[in-house]
Structure 1
């Protein structure tokens, strides 16, 4: 599924990546919840942290 995004950023207050679509809808992904459900190594967690701040759509 492809989204027509207007903006995407990481909200430090909620720990969520927020994706604002052109039609006004917002998708919020709880990063902490996703990471807690995954069995990730420290190296993978470091990569996820990098993506949050530098390439949230990645």
Structure 2
């Protein structure tokens, strides 16, 4: 069985510089990065981070 993997690196400082306009947004980005890294990556790659943060910082929306 052959398995293929892809490694991806996201410049999180650049993401914070782009989207972290307030302390609350920066805190939300940090929370996402450390607690929901897959969702963080999906939002960055899918261009949905700005929309997510515009809805108000409430990481509880992503809780399991």
TM-score w.r.t. the length of structure 2 is: 0.48
Quick check: which one's helix share is greater? 2
The answer for unaligned runs of 5 or more in structure 1 is 1-21
Unaligned runs of 5+ in 2: 40-64
Structure 1 segments of 4+ aligned residues over 3 angstroms from their partners? none
Structure number, greater radius of gyration: 2
Q: How large is the RMSD of aligned CA atoms in angstroms?
A: 1.7
Q: TM (normalized to structure 1)? A: 0.53
Higher strand proportion (structure 1 or 2): 1
